[in-house]
Amino acid sequence: MPDPLDNTPGAREPDAAPADANTAKATEAPKEKPKDATETAKDPAAEAEALAAAETAKAAADEELNKAQAERIFARIEAAISFAQQNKARSIVLIGHSSGAYWAARFLNERTSPVVQKLVMLAAREPLNAKPSLLDMVPQLKVKAVDFIYKNSPDEAAKARLQASKRAKGPGFTQIALINIAGGGDAEQEQLFRRVRGWIDAKEEK
């Protein structure tokens, strides 16, 4: 026990040993190694190639879907033609409304069907992304065709079809304008029936 009257300073306790330099460095967060510029930069050529490959694959898939859809619709049309033949139909006319007009025209362009004499298109419209287009098919039609349109509704596509028909080498293409009847319903259907029937009968008499 130290003497309380002794003024001699006591022995100094040694300072704590400084931390090892290596230990201090170990506790520091490791610095991220800077990335090489060649690693972060994107290769434009590789990106363009990948994009082109993706677009090609999508186009191929869309084409397969289009072919499959066409086969299903053509099968229905062929079944209807066969039914008409079994019932001894005097003449066979394909009538298509809206996108049905597109498929009827495409069927006649892609399938040989000598039993079909005429094509009637009512307010024709192409399905989305349809290929070939109706505009491309009109000049290739090998049967008499009529394109019924509603003149109350301006339709640039209808005008283009009429122009394209002038290049046709087939039996003939006619465009007939109908009037939208106020209220529609039975009166409009009656008008449509009379005009379609009148065109078919008139052509048969010649």
Q: Are 145 and 174 in contact (CB under 8 A)?
A: yes
pLDDT at 125 over 80: yes
Residue range 7-33: mean pLDDT, rounded: 52
Rounded distance, CA 143 to CA 170, Å? 6
Rounded distance, CA 195 to CA 146, Å? 11
Q: Which domains does the chain have, with CATH numbers?
A: 90-201 (3.40.50.1820)
* Backbone CA torsion sign across 191, 197, 200, 206: negative
pLDDT at 199 over 90: yes
pLDDT score at 154: 63
146-150, 154-158, 163-167 — which is least confidently predicted? Answer: 154-158
pLDDT score at 122: 95
pTM of the model: 0.68
Q: Are 145 and 169 in contact (CB under 8 A)?
A: no
pLDDT at 33 over 80: no
Half-sphere exposure of 146 (CA within 13 A, CB side): 21
Residue 130 vs residue 119, higher pLDDT? 119
pLDDT at 128 over 60: yes
3-state secondary structure of 146: strand
pLDDT score at 63: 76
pLDDT at 164 over 60: yes
Exposure b/e, 146-156, CB count within 10 A at least 16 = b: bbbbbeeeeee
How many residues are recorded in the chain?
206
Crossing angle (nearest 10°) for helices 44-86 and 99-110:
80
Exposure b/e, 14-37, CB count within 10 A at least 16 = b: eeeeeeeeeeeeeeeeeeeeeeee
Lookup result for tokens 């967060």? 29
pLDDT score at 30: 55
